[in-house]
């Protein structure tokens, strides 16, 4: 059963959304993108004549009640966005009465799921090294089933619409689906869009296929890189990874970030790229700094900024962005692409001194998109880049799920999708 085929009239639907929105110190929402992303799904349920029971996590309360992470802070904003009455249940596992009282055309927002450790299904207060851990884990998995059963009992059908948590087998993202038959569980509209976008990139490939992988460490991206090497025509590796590759060839990288235990991995990536006929594109120069404040995203007073070759950075200088030659190289590699995937910035884009690399990548992607390419942008920092440079409307699709997207690209089955589709 697909979401659009389902008639929600007279039905209560429990919907897993991702309302883990950023809040300021006053509990006010600073970015409502995730709420807006869920609106088409929620509004369809209401418009059909159904009622929506909305569940989400917020932050990492680690199985304990913490007012800082209360979803009650966003109830009014959800009500305003949805355009119908939204009640609030202060305990997600004791919301039977509130769910029963819910009228068609209305919504109920449950308190943070992660106030209960059963949501994540991980034992609390016990180390993995403890001999009793395995037994505690087994007991927690049984408790997780009961927690999921409780949530399921509130509703007639289940909608999974939180792509950002689809890579986790949590009570609300996967286990709950076991308590609904195939005709009464489905992916929401946002999830369907996300799954289709990933499929367009990995299964329905139009060539040339160019992937851009940024970020600081090779180790966090190696699984994705290896999977992409069997699919792409060109792979651009930028950001902090540049310096591990430079060091692997004996380059001087100054104070730049490096994974000395991954030099052999870098060389292996180069070897596999060559064997697979993939053009591996690395930066050749870097914008460097003698003193960067990573906490405040700025150059410290009195410190210098200068361009060096990426394999000849002087001692005390830290590579923080792609240099002018690298930018041209990246842009040329993206030109003419028909499928594009971008995850991770080319530098410390939060600071204006080091935005040029990421901006050059983003603008090249936008240009290729205008010429007919399908471009998928995923990962918080890449999305933030698009927002900062005004490119959100100039790419094909921006994914809401960082970790989920990366695992999908890596070729892993997402539990939140498998629970629905089998």
* Mean pLDDT, residues 334-353: 96
Q: Does position 204 have pLDDT exceeding 90, yes or no?
A: no
| pLDDT reading at 400 higher than 80 | no
Please identify, among 134, 167, 194, the residue that sits at the C-terminal boundary of a domain: 194
Cβ-contact 157, 10 below 8 angstroms = no
Please tell me the distance from the alpha carbon of residue 50 to that of residue 220, in angstroms, as a whole number.
43
Cβ contact 23:71 at 8 Å: no
| 5 domain residue, yes or no | no
Q: Are residues 141 and 88 in the same domain?
A: yes
Between helices 241-248 and 263-275, what is the axis angle to 10°? 90
Do 169 and 234 lie in a common domain? no
Q: Within this chain, do residues 211 and 74 fall inside the same structural domain, yes or no?
A: no
Is 206 a residue whose pLDDT tops 90?
A: yes
Q: Do 33 and 165 have their domain in common?
A: yes
CB atoms within 10 A of CB 63: 17
Catalogue the active-site residues: 34, 217, 380, 403
Q: What is the mean pLDDT of residues 18-34?
A: 90
Coil, helix or strand at residue 100:
helix
Q: Which residue has the tokens 């990492």?
A: 60
Determine the average pLDDT of the residues in 108-112: 98
**Cα separation, 209 vs 221, whole angstroms:** 18
Residues 234, 279 contacting (CB under 8 angstroms): yes
Residue 67 confidence (pLDDT): 96
pLDDT exceeds cutoff 90 at 46: yes
Other C-beta atoms closer than 10 Å to the C-beta of 134 total 11
Which string of DSSP letters, residue by residue, matches 100-155?
Answer: HHPPTT-EEEEP-GGGSTTTTT--SS--TTSTTHHHHHHHHHHHHHHHHHHHHTT-
Same domain membership, residue 28 and residue 163: yes
Is the same domain home to 146 and 211?
Answer: no
**Residue 181 sits in the same domain as residue 240:** no
CB 283, CB 324: distance < 8 Å: no
Residue-number span of the structural domain to which 148 is assigned: 12-194
Same domain, 190 and 210: no
Q: 143 and 213: one domain?
A: no
The pLDDT assigned to 215 comes to 87
What phi, psi does 52 have (nearest 5°)?
A: -115, 125
Look at residue 7 and tell me if it is in a domain: no
416 in any annotated domain: no
Task: For residue 1, tell me if it sits in a domain.
Answer: no
Q: Does a structural domain hold residue 244?
A: yes
> What pLDDT is recorded for position 159?
98
Whether residue 11 is predicted with pLDDT greater than 90 in this model: the reply is yes
Residues 84 and 230 in one domain: no
Does position 422 have pLDDT exceeding 80, yes or no? no
Percent of the chain residues topping a pLDDT of 70 = 100
Task: Decide if 318 contacts 254 (C-beta within 8 A).
Answer: yes
pLDDT at 379: 75
Picking from 194, 228, 253, the residue at the C-terminal end of a domain is 194
Beta-ladder partners of 287: 307, 321
- List, as one string, the DSSP characters of 23-66: B-TTS-BS--HHHHHHHHHHHHHHHTT-EEEEE---S--TTS--
pLDDT exceeds 80 at position 380: no
Give the phi and the psi of residue 398 in degrees, each rounded to 5.
-110, 120
Q: With bands split at pLDDT 50, 70 and 90, how would you rate the model's confidence at 335?
A: very high
- CB count in 10 Å sphere of residue 128: 10
CATH number of the structural domain spanning residue 18: 3.40.50.1260
219: left (phi over 0), alpha (psi -120 to 50) or beta: alpha
The verdict on residue 324 lying in a domain is yes
In a domain, 421, yes or no: no
Cα end-to-end distance, the chain, whole Å: 12
Per-residue model confidence (pLDDT) at position 203: 83
Name the phi and psi angles at 320, rounded to 5. Answer: -125, -5
pTM exceeds cut of 0.75 = yes
Length of the chain, in residues: 422
With respect to residue 302, please indicate whether it lies within any of the assigned structural domains: yes
Calpha distance 50→105 (Å, rounded): 6
Mean pLDDT along residues 378-382: 80
**Of 169, 194, 219, which marks where a domain is finished?**
194
Average pLDDT in the chain: 95
Confidence of residue 1 (pLDDT cuts 50, 70, 90): confident
219 in the same domain as 178: no
Q: What is the tens place of the pLDDT at every residue in 238-255?
A: 999 999 999 999 999 999
Domain total of the chain: 2
On whether both 165 and 239 belong to a single domain, the answer is no
Is pLDDT of 402 > 80? no
260-313, pLDDT tens digit by residue? 999 999 999 999 999 999 999 999 999 999 999 999 999 999 999 999 999 999
> Average pLDDT, stretch 402-411?
82
């Amino acid at each position: 059963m697909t979401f659009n085929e389902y008639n929600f009239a007279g039905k209560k639907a429990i919907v897993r959304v991702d309302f883990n929105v950023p809040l300021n110190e006053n509990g006010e929402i600073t970015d409502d993108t995730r709420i807006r992303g869920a609106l088409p799904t929620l509004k369809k349920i209401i418009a059909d004549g159904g009622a929506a029971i909305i569940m989400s996590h917020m932050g990492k309360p680690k199985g304990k009640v913490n007012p800082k992470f209360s979803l009650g802070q966003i109830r009014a904003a959800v009500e305003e966005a949805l355009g119908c009455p939204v009640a609030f249940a202060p305990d997600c596992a004791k919301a039977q009465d509130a769910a029963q009282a819910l009228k068609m055309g209305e919504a109920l927002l449950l308190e943070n799921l992660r106030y209960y450790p059963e949501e994540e299904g991980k034992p609390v207060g016990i180390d993995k090294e403890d001999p009793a851990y395995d037994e505690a884990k087994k007991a927690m998995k049984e408790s997780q089933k009961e927690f999921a059963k409780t949530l399921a009992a509130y509703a007639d059908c289940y909608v999974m619409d939180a792509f950002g948590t689809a890579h986790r087998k949590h009570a609300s993202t996967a286990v709950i689906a076991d308590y609904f038959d195939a005709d009464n569980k489905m992916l929401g509209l946002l999830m369907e869009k996300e799954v289709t976008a990933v499929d367009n990139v990995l299964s329905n490939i139009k060539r040339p296929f160019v992937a851009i992988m940024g970020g600081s460490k090779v180790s966090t991206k190696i699984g994705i890189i290896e999977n992409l090497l069997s699919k792409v025509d060109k792979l651009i590796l930028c950001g902090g990874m540049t310096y591990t590759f430079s060091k692997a060839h004996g380059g001087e990288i100054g104070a730049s970030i490096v994974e000395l235990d991954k030099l052999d991995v870098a060389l292996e990536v180069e070897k596999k790229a060559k064997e697979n006929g993939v053009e591996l594109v690395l930066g050749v120069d870097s914008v460097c700094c003698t003193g960067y404040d990573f906490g405040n995203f700025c150059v410290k007073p009195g410190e210098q900024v200068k361009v060096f070759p990426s394999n000849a950075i002087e001692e005390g200088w830290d590579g923080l962005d792609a240099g002018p030659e690298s930018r041209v190289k990246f842009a040329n590699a993206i030109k003419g692409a028909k499928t594009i995937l971008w995850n991770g910035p080319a530098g410390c884009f939060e600071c204006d001194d080091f935005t040029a690399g990421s901006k050059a990548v983003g603008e090249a992607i936008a240009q290729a998109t205008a010429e007919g390419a399908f471009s998928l942008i995923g990962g918080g920092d890449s999305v933030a880049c698009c927002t900062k440079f005004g490119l959100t409307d100039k790419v094909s699709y921006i994914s809401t799920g960082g970790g989920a997207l990366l695992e999908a690209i890596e070729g892993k089955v997402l539990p939140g999708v498998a629970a629905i589709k089998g």
